Amino acid sequence: MKVKCLIIGSGPAGYTAAIYASRANLAPVLIEGPQLGGQLTTTTEVENFPGYPDGVEPFTMMDDMRRQAERFGTQFVSGIVTKVDFSVSPKKVIVEDEIEYEADAVIIATGASAKYLGLESERTYRGRGVSACATCDGFFYRKKTVAVVGGGDTACEEASYLAGLCEKVYMIVRKPFLRASAVMQDRVLNNPKIEVLFEHNTLQLTGEGKVQGADLIYRKGEPDEEQRHIAIDGFFLAIGHHPNTELFKDYLKRDAEGYILVDGDSPRTNVPGVFAAGDCADPHYRQAIVAAGSGAKAAIEADKYIKSL
Ligand code: NDP
């Protein structure tokens, strides 16, 4: 099927691109993957997206965006993109190994996924004390006790941010040192509200219907190995993200982490007519509002590109 503009991804970047592209008469087709609404839907409430003064449930917000795109004629297709060919013009995008689209412009908004430890209890309490975004969810833990897992810059940043809100913050670090930059380490180690638990790993989370504690193991496998329990209300993962960009690796330039490289402040990739928006190209901000803004930019650029053909 031939389309003018094809959008891959159903988070804030994808839906915003769809709103703009459909209002520009590009009749976009948006491919929605298995996580409708994207990463945002793993959180409980959104309070920092302008336009919702009383906060909003993430599913409601994403459904609002989707309906807004639908209103202007976006066509939604449910499925996983299994193959692309950006070496040809129009570009080819294949969904579920079956349906082949040819598109003048493609907007990639496939997002990034937070890494989790892989514990069963982590899944049980997802959205009920387990979070991978302190900026999104920290506010719900005001004056409470939380733990942050990880020893990199993100973990230090999240721990510092949470220390501004919470009574106490544990950092659970698997090595005897922090990997973070010196300045971030100093900030964490000199904050009286933060206690760094070096050489600790998490065994499981505990609690009645929500996170109330964590069982940890200190120096696993060593003669002085010891199990410990900490009482916590929130458990924040900060062990890294991975952008969902594997599919494009043969065509698009990416950084060492896999984030798609774009031309300066624009959403243009190294392939003319292919644009990247949202977290798949943003290792820094990872905010819904930023993703939405870049989705708008991508649609505007796609429109310009199509008109130039
Ligand atoms: P990093 O990969 O730098 O750090 C991940 C941390 O998580 C490490 O301490 C790692 O431990 C730990 N970790 C990974 N897997 C596990 C696991 N299974 N169990 C326990 N701990 C685990 O990721 P970040 O997200 O922190 O940073 C990504 C990039 O972004 C970095 O280059 C960073 O410098 C940059 N960044 C910069 C910021 C700034 O400058 N303000 C802010 C945020 C990020 P270990 O050390 O043992 O491997």
Pairwise CA distance, residues 113 & 39, whole Å: 7
The active-site residue out of 137, 233, 279, 303 is 137
Strand partners, 91: 103
Measured from the CA of 175, which atom of ligand 1 is nearest? 47
pLDDT winner (highest mean) among 15-19, 33-37, 135-139: 15-19
| CATH numeric code, 116-237 | 3.50.50.60
Specify the pTM. 0.78
Q: What is the pLDDT of residues 127-155, one digit of tens each?
A: 899 999 898 889 999 999 999 999 998 89
DSSP state, residue 116: -
Number of C-beta neighbours around residue 275 at 10 A:
31
Residue 272 has pLDDT above 90, yes or no: yes
Instruction: Output the ligand 1 site: residues, CB below 6 A.
Output: 117, 149-155, 157, 174-175, 179, 239-240, 283
DSSP state, residue 178: -
Tell me how far the alpha carbon of residue 220 lies from the centroid of ligand 1, in angstroms: 21
Report which of residues 241 and 110 the model is more confident about: 110
Region(s) of the chain under CATH 3.50.50.60:
2-113+241-308, 116-237
Which parts of the chain fold into alpha helices (H)? Answer: 12-23, 58-71, 120-124, 134-137, 153-163, 182-189, 288-308
136 given a catalytic annotation: yes
| Fold that domain 2-113+241-308 belongs to in CATH | FAD/NAD(P)-binding domain (3.50.50)
Residue 298 pLDDT level (bands cut at 50, 70, 90): very high
The percent of residues in the chain predicted with pLDDT above 70, rounded, is 99
